[in-house]
Amino acid sequence: MKTRILFVCVHNSARSQMAEAFVNRYCGECFEAESAGLEPGTLNPLVVEAMAEDGIDISDNATKSVWEVFQSGKSFGYVISVCDESREERCPIFPGCAIRLHWSFPDPAQFTGIHAEKLEEVRNVRNAIAAKVATWCEEVSGVCNAAY
């Protein structure tokens, strides 16, 4: 049976979606990831674009609320928040008996500039999340192939 992981953030529109996708890519044989947010919005189109560049299509993903996931009764081995430190006070907490971790990443919704500049910043966050997930997967379970 796979260990379930929940990634949480404020809107479930960027960082948590990327982390979910990378866990399912890198160590999906050991873990099953989901994501949710305190105030679910819509997927960030720059994140969809950046993930597609890496061969991951999240364009059909729906955002979910933490409350919706909580009400489903699912249990998680890990709950990992991915809000940045400057907004951590708004980052949702998921109740239950899971191991809780916090990985701080900048919020793509806060990036400014022209499309190309914002996309480059999103790529940097995507790459940082991918590296963190790959390293974590290797640390937690040597059975999983987390090479990227």
Positions annotated as catalytic residues are: 9, 83, 91
- Within a 10 A sphere around the Cβ of 120, how many other Cβ atoms? 13
115: its two tokens: 């499309």
CB 37 within 8 A of CB 65: yes
Q: What is the DSSP letter of 7?
A: E
The two structure tokens encoding residue 12:
């479930």
Angle between helices 45-53 and 115-140 (to 10 degrees): 60
d(CA 129, CA 39): 21
Spatial CB neighbours of 71, under 8 Å, sequence gap ≥ 6: none
Q: How many CB atoms lie within 10 A of CB 98?
A: 17
